[in-house]
A and B are shown apart, each in its own frame.
Chain A
Amino acid sequence: MSKRLSQRLRGPNATFLIATLLFFVVVQALLSFGLLNNFWRGIIFWGVAITIVSLGLNLIYGFNGQFSLGQYGFYAIGAYASADVTYRFMRSDNSALIVVIGGSVITLLLMWGLSALLRRFYGVSTISAFVFNLLATIIGFGCAVVILVPALNAPISALLAVLPSGLAQQIVFFFALLGGAALAGIVSFLFGMPGLELGSDYFGIATLGFTIIIKVLLDNTDTILPFPEMKGARGMVGIPQWTTWPWVFFSFMLVVLVMRNVLHSSTGRTIVAVREDERAAELVGIDTAQSKLLAFVLGSVFAGLAGGIRAHDLAFLHPQSFNFIQSFNPLIIVVFGGLGSMTGTIFAGFTWILLLEGVLRLYLPAGFETWRFVVYPLLLIMMMLLRPEGLLGQYEIAFLRAKLPTLNRKLTTPAPTAEEVTA
């Protein structure tokens, strides 16, 4: 065990670990000593959030080949859900926490049971499976609202009141982020199950519709939906500003590690195989529907997590920041960085926000930001003409690269004889 650990901590892994830790410490120091003002702090946090969304999109579009414009919808779901949890917690009401976490847990358990059950049946159509899962979701969250909230609200509030307020805050924030991500994952699962059957381009249009639906729902949270605290089109205020650099950094590292570990596994290879040739993947025995759904849900969970981080940094949410024009941001980042390159997405995500939202806003005359929508498409067109594979193509830094296996000598040279082994 220790041997394996020491092996793992050598070479590119060690370099990467040291570099990221250094980055973490430097930014933390700059923030602690007040060398970065709130503007730059916001820019960095925003950069990380949008990079996480873009990584999720790269998993869906760059690695799995499914064109999605819906990531801002899931980003919005994560943001609003987690904001609602902490907003209510601040007003000594833990119902949102219980619904989001309890409902997600029940729903996931029901879905898990359902998938085991449906596997025994012969020829269940996607639409029936979808309806069953939708019912499971309704039952899961219904149970949470009807049973869990009245039963658990008082004890959980009492429990959180006993804890020191700082600790209670961090615990609630953790569950808020988790709940936002889980909710985004469940919605993406329900949406993706029938949606991904459409095939790449039509799926892209469906996700565009999804983003618009989410935006319209957010405009009407206080009228159609029963969430008066979200204040519909006026924007949600009063969200605690709890996002700190460690939260941002470790969420980011978690996303990078999970994505890398998934991509370098056998399942990850099937995800890439679907991009390469879906029919061929199907005909070497890969359940492509499952593979596509996995990439889509994982990417959307990332988006939901980023939403929670962003909401608790900005402390203000407005439906307009989640409209479909905004949803092109991660797409542009992914295309710029290179489809199928995690390094490229990380690089492009940070550059995008630092440059366009940070540097240009500060150093160029006021009113320039209205020109951004002229600059974006021009940049994109130039990119497509000059370097269609993206800035970094499919390049990865050593830490994120799959190790190429060495030649198996056993197969090419004859096996050593007994004397050679003992000698």
Chain B
Amino acid sequence: MTKGRPESLSVEVEQRPVVLTIEDLTHFFDNLRAVGNFSLTLRKGELVGLIGPNGAGKTTVFNLITGVYRATEGRIQYNGTELIGLPSHEVIQMGIARTFQNIRLFSNLTVLDNVRIAYHPHAGYNLLDAILRRGRYYKREARLTERAQEFLAIFGLEERQNDIAGSLPYGLQRRLEIARALATRPHLLLLDEPAAGMNPQEIDQLMELIHFIRDKFDLTILLVEHRMRLVMNICEWITVMDFGEVIARGTPDEVRNDPKVIEAYLGRQASVQ
């Protein structure tokens, strides 16, 4: 039995290869323990939710995985490689991508440039080629642009490629952020509250999108979310955090009926429809 997984999962699921292992992760901000003994194991192709009340430490876990903070204790392994201590850009280049709770686009740049920037490590030409404008620069730059346009087309943004990213409506900005994250060619995608600020109709579209990209790009997805409708509908299983610790794990149905979860997260009187 691997650490950091619910017991109720099918045998078939448990035979898939492990992608991400987090073991006994602890992180302190000065004396405040933001995350304590957090464990989580993701297998290939899973779509897992991480939920919990405000300040439970969900985003901190994301920041620890992506190297924004350096964990005080514990281990984070991605495909067998230790991530703690690696700078963010190296973690991303290993195949982990993330989005942000509050959208962080390069908002004064065009939609296309947002994606092209994320594609930079795969540009295939160096600065000297660019300064001397060698043939390679033109060829690779054209290919890079074409790739970026393909990404935009997948997300229905190709018509807006030359618009300024900050001028897009909110829902499209979310889409662009996901497109930009996918342009880094990830295998593991971390989505930080993708449905924040969305109306029910936009959430429906988002759910479709998440399913679509998981199949299209063969992704493993970890999702932090507040909106119960999204989490309960699309996640295969859920980890619930409170005060930096895991208080429950299981399928949406198990979590929904777990008295600890109802008490800690949803409040004593609440019920989930």
Chain A complexes with chain B = yes
Binding site for B on A (CB under 8 A): 4, 122-123, 258, 261-262, 264-270, 272-273, 276-277, 279-288, 294, 404-405, 407-408, 411-412
The residue that A4 contacts in the complex, of B66, B130, B138, B183, with Cβ under 8 A, is B138
Q: Which residues of B contact A123 (CB under 8 A)?
A: 85-86
A276–B109 CB distance below 8 A = yes
Q: For A270, give the chain B residue with the smallest CB separation.
A: B120
- A266-B141, A269-B120 known; A280 vs B146 contact (CB < 8 Å): no
| Known contacts A284-B181, A286-B89; A269/B116 CB under 8 A | yes
As a 0/1 sequence over residues 117 to 134 of chain B, the CB contacts with chain A under 8 angstroms (1 = contact) are 111110101110111110
Contact of B88 among A258, A266, A272, A283 (CB under 8 A): A283
Determine the chain B residues whose CB is within 8 A of the CB of A412 once the complex forms.
Answer: 153, 158-159
For B85, give its contact among A122, A273, A288, A294 (CB under 8 Å). A122
- A170 vs B20: C-alpha distance in the bound complex, in angstroms? 62
Given A122-B85, A407-B161, decide whether A261 and B149 contact each other with a Cβ distance below 8 A: no
* Bound Cα distance A273, B116 (Å): 11
Considering the complex, which residues of chain B in the window 160-203 have a beta carbon less than 8 Å from any beta carbon of chain A?
A: 161-162, 180-181, 183-184
Contacts of A286 in B (CB 8 A): 89, 117, 120-121
Given A265-B137, A266-B120, A266-B123, residue A280 in contact with residue B104 (CB < 8 A): yes
B109 touches A258 (CB 8 A): no
Q: How far is the CA of A283 from the CA of B92 in the complex (A)?
A: 6
20 pairs, A vs B, C-beta closer than 8 Å: A261-B130, A262-B127, A262-B131, A266-B119, A268-B130, A269-B109, A269-B120, A270-B117, A272-B109, A276-B107, A276-B109, A277-B107, A282-B92, A284-B184, A285-B184, A286-B120, A287-B87, A404-B110, A408-B149, A408-B150
B113 smallest CB distance to A (angstroms): 6
B92 touches A284 (CB 8 A): yes
Q: Which positions in B face A, CB cutoff 8 Å?
A: 66, 68, 85-89, 92-93, 97-98, 100, 104-110, 112-113, 116-121, 123, 125-127, 129-133, 135, 137-138, 141, 144-146, 149-150, 153, 158-159, 161-162, 180-181, 183-184
Chain A residues, Cβ within 8 Å of B131 = 258, 261-262, 265
User: Which one of B68, B93, B150 lies within 8 Å of A411 (CB-CB)?
Assistant: B150
Which of B105, B131, B137 is packed against the most chain A CB atoms within 10 Å? B131
Which residues from chain A contact B150 at a C-beta distance below 8 Å?
408, 411
A272 and B86 CA atoms in complex are apart in Å by 24
Q: Determine if B146 and A407 form an interchain contact, defined as CB atoms under 8 angstroms apart.
A: no
Q: Please, how many angstroms separate the alpha-carbon atoms of A213 and B64 in the complex?
A: 40
Known A262-B127, A282-B87, A283-B88; further 10 A-B contacts with Cβ < 8 A: A258-B131, A265-B137, A269-B117, A279-B68, A283-B68, A283-B104, A284-B117, A285-B184, A404-B110, A407-B158
Contact present for B141 and A288 (CB under 8 Å): no
Closest to B118 in A: A284
Q: Is the CB of B104 within 8 A of A273?
A: no
Given A280-B100, A408-B149, A272:B106 Cβ within 8 A: yes
Q: How far is the CB of B80 from chain A (nearest CB, A)?
A: 15
Q: Are A285 and B118 in contact, with the CB atoms below 8 A?
A: yes
Partner of B89, one of A266, A268, A285, A407: A285
CA distance A285 to B104 in the complex (A): 14
Shortest CB distance B53–A (Å): 25
A200: min CB distance to chain B, Å: 16
Chain A residues within an 8 Å CB radius of B86 = 123
Asked if B66 and A283 make an inter-chain contact with CB atoms under 8 angstroms apart, the answer reads yes
Contacts of B137 in A (CB 8 A): 265
* CB proximity of B155 to chain A, nearest CB, Å: 11
Shortest distance from the beta carbon of A168 to any chain B beta carbon, whole Å: 29
How far apart are B222's CB and chain A's nearest CB, in angstroms? 15
When distances are taken between beta carbons in the complex, the residues of chain B under 8 Å from A277 are 104-107
Inside 8 A of A268's CB, which chain B residues have their CB?
130
User: Are A287 and B89 neighbours in the complex by a CB distance under 8 Å?
Assistant: yes
Contacts of B68 in A (CB 8 A): 279, 283
Complex CA–CA separation, A404 to B149 (angstroms): 12
Q: Are B146 and A408 within 8 A (Cβ)?
A: yes
CB <8 Å contact, B88 and A261: no
Identity of the chain A residue whose Cβ is nearest the Cβ of B121 in the assembled complex = A285
Given that A265-B127, A405-B145, A411-B149 are known contacts, is A280 also in contact with B89, CB under 8 Å in the complex?
A: no
Q: Given A266-B116, A405-B145, does the pair A282, B130 have CB atoms closer than 8 Å?
A: no
Known: A266-B116, A404-B162, A411-B149. A280 touches B92 (CB 8 A): no
**B133 and A261 form a contact (CB under 8 A):** yes
**Which residues in B have their C-beta under 8 angstroms from that of A407?**
158-159, 161
- Closest-CB distance, B107 to chain A (whole angstroms): 7
B97 — which chain A residues lie within 8 A by C-beta? 284
For the complex formed, measure the closest distance between the CB of A302 and the CB atoms of chain B, giving whole angstroms. 13
Give the nearest-CB partner of A408 in chain B: B149
How far apart are the CA atoms of A280 and B114 in the complex, in Å?
A: 11
Q: Chain A residues with Cβ under 8 A from B162's Cβ?
A: 404-405
A285: chain B residues at CB < 8 Å are 89, 92-93, 118, 120-121, 184
Among A266, A269, A272, A285, max chain B CB count under 10 A is at A285
Report chain A residues within 8 Å CB of B106: 272-273, 276-277, 280-281
Q: Which residues of B contact A294 (CB under 8 A)?
A: 127
CB distance from A20 to the nearest CB of B (A): 17
When A and B form their complex, which 6 residue pairs have the shortest distance between CB atoms, in order from nearest? A265-B130, A285-B92, A276-B106, A266-B123, A280-B104, A411-B153
In the complex, chain B residues whose CB is within 8 Å of the CB of A411: 149-150, 153, 158
Determine the distance from Cα of A261 to Cα of B133 in the docked complex, in whole angstroms: 7
B166 to chain A, nearest CB (A): 10
Asked if B181 and A264 sit within 8 Å, CB to CB, the answer is no
The answer for the CA separation of A269 and B180 in the assembled complex, in Å, is: 14
Say yes or no: A267 contacts B161, CB within 8 Å. Answer: no
Q: Which of B89, B138, B141, B158 contacts A282 (CB 8 A)?
A: B89
Distance from A70 Cβ to chain B, minimum over Cβ atoms (Å): 23
Give the CA-CA distance A265 to B130 in the complex, in Å. Answer: 6
CB distance from A276 to the nearest CB of B (A): 4
Closest Cβ neighbor of A288 among chain B residues: B89
Given that A262-B130, A269-B113 are known contacts, is A279 also in contact with B144, CB under 8 Å in the complex? no
